[in-house]
Amino acid sequence: MSLLKHKNKHQQQGRRSAEETTAAGKHTGKRHKADSAGNSNDDPTKDERKKGAERQTMATLTVRTQAALHRQVAIDALTRLLKAPVATMLSSLLIAVAFALPVLFFVLVTNLQALGAAWDGQPGISVYLESGLAQEAVDQLVAGYRQDPLIKEVSYIPPEQGLADFQQRAGLQDIISQLGFNPLPGVIELVPVSDATVAQLDQAVASYQGTTGVDQVRLDRQWVQRLQAILSLFERFAIALGVIFGMTVVLVISNTVRLSIESRRDEIRVVSMVGGTRGFIAMPFVYMGVWYGIMGALLAHVMVFSLLAMLRREAMTIAGLYNSDTVLSGPGVEVSGVLLSCGILLGAAGAVGSCYRHFQTLVPN
């Protein structure tokens, strides 16, 4: 007789006996009812159904057994970590720092973005006129802009005044006088109403652009765009930083798990000799990695929030300068969720990697 088959029989017997104890009451009850109603058990559909139910019970039992095993292994792994609190704390802190840096960077970027979005200074529109445009044409344009409901204020800066303004700026007088003529065009400065949206303004700019006598129209929000461009660059940088530090977390956890594997060589050998699969042997180590990841993520939260609390007053001052009442906001629920999932995943990945490498030599065959 085959040994493997032998094993299966044993296991099935074990499972069946457990199943009988849990489901015995139900079965016998049903059978009694069926008998008293004069129905014998030879109804094939009923038999099929019963078999299906049995199979299902067995499946749920296996799932339950597995769940119980996982729960126990997870708790064991945590207790083992808590038994060496200093070592656990140091490793977790290392992981937490690696997590906290990209998160802090990300928080900084999102806050600056919020600051840019909440900036309530009005973008002005500058209409640069063609040079040598007649005063009547200018007046006509000004009158036209005054009638636009989108525009609150209109002011005309003739080329002479523009030149005078320009010459006031240090170091530029010589250049202008050497030029011998006034290179500046007339400009009409427009201030839009405060509730004008960016889309409306864009549309207005496009329509002004087409009118005769207008050389160029500029919407003064380039600094916002520039800020946003820089911020999106920073955001990408934060993500790249996150990837690099994520790798660091994997390496830290993998190394910590390696030490644990080394110290539990005997146990691994025993478990392997009484028939533990590599998956079974790896389970406590994978849970260990996951716990490290979770603890690192939680500690990273503590670090980020305490740092933000320290910076809050300074941030308020800056926000005040920008006429914004935005307060430094911490990472949102999404960031926390991502951080925690990253902790779990990276922890498991580091542990699995470590197990894979070291079981080659430790686990016989």
Positions touching another protein (CB under 8 A) are 1-4, 6-7, 10-11, 14, 17-18, 61-62, 64-66, 68-69, 72, 266-267, 269-278, 280, 364-365
Q: Which residues pair with 217 in a beta bridge?
A: 127
Output the smallest distance, CB 8 to another protein, in A.
Answer: 9
Output the smallest distance, CB 278 to another protein, in A.
Answer: 8
**What are the tokens at 339?**
């951080």
Q: 153 or 267: whose CB is closer to another protein?
A: 267
Q: 66 or 306: whose CB is closer to another protein?
A: 66
Q: 18 or 157: whose CB is closer to another protein?
A: 18
Output the smallest distance, CB 5 to another protein, in A.
Answer: 9
Q: 12 or 222: whose CB is closer to another protein?
A: 12
Output the smallest distance, CB 263 to another protein, in A.
Answer: 11
Contact of 126 with 145, CB cutoff 8 Å: no
Output the smallest distance, CB 244 to another protein, in A.
Answer: 36
Q: What is the C-alpha to C-alpha distance for residues 345 and 89, in angstroms, rounded to an integer?
A: 20
Q: 165 or 267: whose CB is closer to another protein?
A: 267
Q: 39 or 66: whose CB is closer to another protein?
A: 66
Q: 60 or 216: whose CB is closer to another protein?
A: 60
Q: What is the C-alpha to C-alpha distance for residues 129 and 134, in angstroms, rounded to an integer?
A: 10
CA distances from 46 to 39, 50, 51, 58, 187 (A): 11, 6, 9, 18, 92
Output the smallest distance, CB 22 to another protein, in A.
Answer: 10
Beta-carbon-side half-sphere exposure of residue 36 (alpha carbons within 13 Å): 6
Is residue 14 packed enough to be buried (19+ CB in 10 Å), middle (13-18) or exposed (0-12)? exposed
Output the smallest distance, CB 62 to another protein, in A.
Answer: 7
Long-range CB contacts (within 8 A, 24+) of 215-220: 215/128, 215/129, 215/130, 215/131, 215/185, 216/127, 216/128, 217/125, 217/126, 217/127, 217/128, 218/125, 218/126, 218/128, 219/123, 219/125, 220/123, 220/124, 220/125, 220/126
Q: What is the C-alpha to C-alpha distance for residues 350 and 310, in angstroms, rounded to an integer?
A: 33
